[in-house]
Amino acid sequence: MSNGGLLQKAMEAQETNDEIVATSVSDEKSGVINLGNSSKIGLVSGLLSVILMWVFSDPSIQSDFALILIVPIILAGVSFWFIFNATGKKFAGPIAVVLILLLSSPFLAMSVTSSSITITDSELSSDAQTIELTLRESGGLFGSSSGDADISVTYDGDEVWSTSMSFSINREDGYGKYGLLTLNIVDFYNGNADDNNQYKIIIDTGSSSDTFILNPTHLERTVTDVKSGTIPIMGEGNDCDNNKDNCVIGVGLKSWIGLQTLVGNPPAPLAHADFELDAILSKDGSNAIEFPHVNVVNGEASWDSQSGEYGSGYAMVGDFGSELVLSGSIEDIENNIFYIPKDDWVESDYGCYEFTVTVTQSIPWDVSTAHTATTFYEYSEEGASNDPDNPSPANEEAWTQVNSC
């Protein structure tokens, strides 16, 4: 009974040990299987993330779907988690480094084999007809951005012009490689540039693209406001007929052409505008002064001076203001103007005079009707006495601006 009891206990102990060993072996085999599956999932996920990164890093895909790079990054995270669980913490650092290098490999390769362009500057030509863009190249030890480019220009968000143009990165300075691209303004001009209406140029070379906002002062060309005015030139004593104390001996003609501002203020200047101007001083439908036709190109005004009768025949407008003086033959130092003497007027009797300035532009600078400004002046005698006991003739003349004739 005693022996049987001991033998029975020994047999039970042996069976228990066999179960423990079997369970341990079974768990170990299961762990190997689990670890093996985890590693395979991690490796497959990592390989797939690298392949997708190579595909999605293509510039043509990136230009339309930039956020798609999130997909391979998420897969890389999944890969790291599975491999980390299968190998342990001591391999976490090397695993992370390998994954980062593999994911960045397409960008490292492109930095060596391909290049990108950036528009860094724009310069207006001396005749204000073209804009020259500076394109700088970065990257591409064995590649070049030279070739064909798709170019488009938008105005106020709408595309107004596009073309395909060849270019070459064939220059170099202290900042690196660069090339020049020239645009004709008449090709894409669609109205004045300002803070709310910008001209943006987009250049796409296939491997890279860039956007650049053109200088608005280079693209202010359309006249939106015109004003006219005269300055009376007064003489005294011997300058006057009929013993008058003072009299009008001539008139200076002025005009202002540019961008409309606050009511009552002269227009803002247009430094590079092209337009034509006509100015007439008339009385009762008859021309007193018909100023020669003025042609303005890139802010330089010219007209037929008629041997000095109308000044030098040249003036600048737009550089320092919108004023254009329509010069005469005689200088008045006090008013700082060359005026047209009354002796040269076709009509010089007393009465109401109209001074009209008309500005016109051609396509593409403007397609609207001409801009016209008219001011009115009363040329009269003053100082006469109506006293029947002490009558006296007028002894003064006046040139007064009025609202209308």
Residue 170 has a pLDDT of 80
Residue of 270, 225, 237 lying closest to 371 (CA atoms): 225
Which has the higher per-residue pLDDT, 326 or 396?
326
Our CA angle for 75, 81, 87, nearest 5°, is: 130
Whether 29 has a pLDDT exceeding 90, the answer reads: no
Is the model more confident about 328 or about 108?
328
Q: Which has the higher per-residue pLDDT, 87 or 317? A: 317
How many distinct structural domains can be found in the chain?
3
pLDDT, position 190: 94
Residues 6 or more apart from 116 whose CB is under 8 A from it?
137, 138, 139, 140, 145, 207, 208, 210
* Residue 178 shares a structural domain with residue 242: no
Q: Give me the CATH number covering residue 186.
A: 2.60.40.3110
Same domain, 287 and 207: no
Please check whether residues 199 and 91 belong to one and the same domain.
no
Q: Which stretch of 100-109, 241-250, 289-298, 379-388 has the lowest confidence by average pLDDT? A: 100-109
Same domain, 270 and 161: no
Pair (109, 120) in one structural domain: no
What is the chain's mean pLDDT, rounded? 82
User: How high is the pLDDT of residue 50?
Assistant: 78
Once rounded to an integer, what is the mean pLDDT over residues 282-307?
96
**DSSP assignment of 150-211, as one string?**
EEEEEETTEEEEEEEEEE---EEETTEEEEEEEEEHHHH--S---SSS-EEEEEE-SS-EEE
**How much of the chain exceeds pLDDT 70, in percent?**
79
Q: Are residues 91 and 163 in the same domain?
A: no
Residues 132 and 204 in one domain: yes
Q: Are residue 16 and residue 94 in the same domain, yes or no?
A: yes
Least confident among 124-133, 156-165, 173-182, 282-291: 173-182
Identify whether residues 343 and 396 lie together within a single domain.
Answer: yes
Residue 250 has pLDDT above 90, yes or no: yes
Of 53, 85, 113, which closes a domain? 113
What's the rounded mean pLDDT across residues 113-119?
69
Tell me, what's the pLDDT at 22?
A: 41
Coil, helix or strand for 385? strand
Interval 87-106 mean pLDDT: 71
Domain identity same for 47 and 94: yes
pLDDT tens per residue, range 141-182: 444 556 788 999 999 989 999 999 888 888 877 767 788 999
Better-predicted residue by pLDDT, 286 or 75: 286
φ and ψ at 72, to 5 degrees? -65, -30
Under the banding of pLDDT at 50, 70 and 90, the label for residue 7 is very low
Tell which of 170, 185, 218 closes a domain. Answer: 218
Kindly report, residue by residue over 319-360, the tens digit of the pLDDT: 889 999 999 999 999 999 999 999 999 999 999 999 999 999
Do both 59 and 123 map to the same domain?
A: no
Domain ranges, residue 32:
2-113
The answer, yes or no, to whether residue 16 has pLDDT greater than 60, is no
The DSSP call for residue 53 is H
pLDDT of residue 109: 59
Q: Is the pLDDT of residue 24 over 50?
A: no
pLDDT greater than 80 at residue 369: no
68, 94, 113 - which closes a domain: 113
Q: What pLDDT, in 10s, does the model give residues 40-56?
A: 777 787 788 778 777 77
Structure-token pair, residue 129:
């007809």
Output 66 or 128, whichever has higher pLDDT: 128
Tell me what pLDDT residue 79 has: 75
What is the per-residue pLDDT for 136? 82
d(CA 297, CA 147) in angstroms, rounded, equals: 35
Please give the structure tokens belonging to residue 98: 């390998």
Do residues 121 and 109 both lie within one domain? no
**Alpha-carbon span 388 to 373, nearest angstrom:** 44
